[in-house]
Amino acid sequence: MGRVIAVANQKGGVGKTTTAINLAASLAAAEVNTLLVDCDPQSNSTSGLGFVKDPERVSSYHLLMGAATGEEALLNTELDQLWIIPSHKNLIGANIELVDADGREFRMREALAPLRERFQFIVLDCPPALDLLTLNALVAADAVLIPMQGEYFALEGISELLDTIERIRAALNPSLGIEGVVLTMFDERTNLAQQVMAELKNFFGEKLCRTTIPRNIRLAEAPSHGKPALMYDPRSKGAESYIRLAKEIIERQPSVGQTNASETFATEEHKGEAVEEIPAAADMDKTA
The string of pLDDT tens digits covering residues 73-103 is 999 999 999 999 999 998 999 988 998 888 9
Distance of alpha carbon 8 from alpha carbon 14, whole angstroms: 10
- State whether residue 32 is helix, strand or coil: coil
Residue 222 confidence (pLDDT): 96
Residue 259 confidence (pLDDT): 46
Q: How confident is the model at residue 121 (pLDDT cuts 50, 70, 90)?
A: very high
Task: Output 186 or 279, whichever has higher pLDDT.
Answer: 186
User: Quick one: how far is CA 152 from the chain centroid?
Assistant: 22
Across 1-10, 239-248, 257-266, the highest mean pLDDT is recorded for 239-248
Distance of alpha carbon 133 from alpha carbon 61, whole angstroms: 10
Give the residue among 57, 55, 54, 45 at the shortest CA–CA distance from 18. Answer: 45
Kindly tell me if the per-residue pLDDT of 220 is higher than 60.
Answer: yes
Distance of alpha carbon 285 from alpha carbon 201, whole angstroms: 11
Residue range 227-249: mean pLDDT, rounded? 96
Residue range 266-288: mean pLDDT, rounded? 45
Q: What is the pTM of this model?
A: 0.87
Q: Which residues contact 47 (CB under 8 A, 6 or more apart)?
A: 53, 223, 226
Kindly tell me if the per-residue pLDDT of 47 is higher than 60.
Answer: yes
Distance of alpha carbon 186 from alpha carbon 283, whole angstroms: 24
Kindly tell me if the per-residue pLDDT of 270 is higher than 80.
Answer: no
Mean of per-residue pLDDT scores for the chain: 87
**pLDDT tens column, 12-21:** 889 999 999 9
List the domains of the chain with CATH numbers: 3-283 (3.40.50.300)
Q: How confident is the model at residue 256 (pLDDT cuts 50, 70, 90)?
A: low
Phi, psi for 180 (deg, rounded to 5):
165, 170
Distance of alpha carbon 198 from alpha carbon 203, whole angstroms: 9
**pLDDT tens column, 131-155:** 999 999 999 999 999 999 888 777 7
Least confident of 17-26, 163-172, 267-276: 267-276
